[in-house]
Amino acid sequence: MTAPSGLEVPVCADAGGRARPELARRALVASALLGALALGCGKDEPAPRPAPTAAASTGAGRGAASAASSSGVVAAAPSTARAAVGTSAPSVTPDGAPIHTKEVLSKIYEVDRIYKSMRGPDSVQELPLYESKAPELLWIVGFEALMVAPDGATPISQEWMCHSNLDFSAAKHLALFEDKKPLTDRLFTLSQGQQRIDFPEGYGLPILSSESLSLNTQVLNLNMTVGKKDVRHKISVRFVRDAETRVPYKPLFAGGAFGLKLVEGAEGYFGVDHGDPASQGPGCLPGVAAAPGDYEDAHGRKFTGHWIVKPGREENHTLVTKLLNLPFDTTVHYIAIHLHPFAESLELRDLTTGQSVYKATTRQTTGAIGLEHVDFYSSTEGLPLYKDHEYELVSIYDNTTDVDQDSMAVMNMYMLDKAYKRPGVGQAAPVGKP
């Protein structure tokens, strides 16, 4: 795979670990690993909703429950309280607009052996968000992914979730909105440590009702060595119809950065001919890929975003200025973090100012391999990001076992879209799936 022109990114693999090219997505370098997969485990009971950190908010609560259909798709409806999972969500926005929820169930997966990251059973399904006679503007305000029993309703441990990814066609979306900024096909990824995303009040991802969405779900198993278990994903997408709002929404776009390890070549500065440690940090460490899939930059170096962590403590620095590929100065209003078990933290640093932009920490699962909680950031005020600044991503892992473990380090960011243009009335999406 070659960068910076683009990367062919395998979204998942089959049970034997072989790449599934038919599920590959063409993505810009700045977003090639966004929404990468996670590992985790827990006891066989509903995972508690994480408490907010000092700089984070858990958002508005959970969406409505509806009876599951045999097809796995539940019709969109305004949200109501859902006592079954112990939390509630408002049914309307502060200005009185209904908050709609589209629920989808994955197929039932049988877990009967150890499945590490990108090795478990998976599937892809189309997710029509909202059906309307004419295309209309929608604002996605939240995303949730839970593991449930085969009945589609009973919550179970989140240890079985490898990931839940929601994708669309960035190229088609940009054409519809007459935009040219770098954009990833990935809208959301949730994995163990965080099961829900709620954007700050008044912010959302704009999308037309005619645009196609694609949902990829995959399971993993890091702890159960005997027996079988049937599980499935329950997905909820929360959105607001623009036609029902009275206060304009602030548009967000998805982007971010990911950690890398150098697997071939000299100097671990992705996309930079000769890095300067004084202004661009130490660069990423040499490493070993945990799975096939190298990323080659314009200078002939190869990197991996899924690497082996040896027993002990590791601190890895990745220059991510080119991966961020900021189109303009902006503010980030939500940050979701993807890490694997044994990760301690992930931090974005502004090398130009010498300051930390945001640092997320984790909490490991007690008595098993997994992540119980990963911090996230949510704010109406936002954190400033600058197009002409240098940035690095710093991941810290502490492998407390005596065997190799695998790792990723991804910071998914939802930033204010200063180039947003409202689409024309009745604008239709091009025919075809993402």
Gap between the Cα atoms of 149 and 140, Å rounded? 27
Gap between the Cα atoms of 390 and 370, Å rounded? 33
pLDDT of 425 reads: 56
CA distances from 20 to 60, 109, 117, 211 (A): 37, 18, 14, 24
Gap between the Cα atoms of 314 and 285, Å rounded? 10
Query: Which listed CATH number (2.60.120.310, 3.30.420.10, 2.40.50.140, 3.30.70.1350) goes with 33-252?
Result: 2.60.120.310
Q: Is 361 exposed, middle or buried (0-12, 13-18, 19+ CB in 10 A)?
A: middle
Pairing of strands 203-208, 250-258: parallel
> Does domain 255-416 bear CATH number 3.10.20?
no
Query: Are 38 and 290 contacting, i.e. CB atoms less than 8 angstroms apart?
Result: no
Gap between the Cα atoms of 249 and 247, Å rounded? 6
52, amino acid identity: P
Q: In sequence order, what are the residues at sequence separation of 6 or more whose Cβ sits closer than 8 angstroms to the Cβ of residue 130?
A: 76, 100, 102, 136, 138, 209, 239, 241
- Read off the DSSP letter of residue 244: G
Q: Where in the chain is the domain with CATH 2.60.120.310?
A: 33-252
Cβ neighbours, 10 Å, residue 128: 14
Question: Dihedral of the CA atoms 13, 197, 422, 75 (nearest 10)?
Answer: 80
pLDDT of 295 reads: 86
Query: Are 40 and 219 contacting, i.e. CB atoms less than 8 angstroms apart?
Result: no
Length of the chain: 434
CA angle, 398 as apex, 268 and 114 as ends, to 5°? 100
Cβ neighbours, 10 Å, residue 118: 28
Q: Which residue has the tokens 């010498």?
A: 354
Query: Are 256 and 346 contacting, i.e. CB atoms less than 8 angstroms apart?
Result: no
Q: Which residue has the tokens 């671990």?
A: 268
116, amino acid identity: K
Note down pLDDT in tens along the chain; length 434 residues.
Answer: 433 322 223 333 333 333 333 333 333 333 334 433 332 233 333 333 333 333 443 333 323 222 333 334 444 444 332 222 333 456 888 778 899 999 999 999 999 999 887 788 999 999 999 998 899 999 999 999 999 999 999 999 989 888 899 999 999 999 999 999 999 899 999 988 999 999 999 999 999 999 999 999 999 888 889 999 999 999 999 999 999 998 899 999 999 999 999 999 989 999 898 899 999 999 999 999 998 878 888 899 999 999 999 999 999 999 999 999 999 999 999 999 999 999 999 999 999 999 999 999 999 999 999 899 999 999 999 999 999 999 999 999 999 999 999 999 999 999 999 999 998 755 554 444 44
pLDDT of 426 reads: 55
Query: Are 74 and 65 contacting, i.e. CB atoms less than 8 angstroms apart?
Result: no
Q: In sequence order, what are the residues at sequence separation of 6 or more whose Cβ sits closer than 8 angstroms to the Cβ of residue 88?
A: 61, 62, 81, 82
Query: Are 206 and 139 contacting, i.e. CB atoms less than 8 angstroms apart?
Result: yes
The answer to whether the peptide bond before residue 200 is cis (omega within 30 degrees of 0) is: no
pLDDT of 432 reads: 42
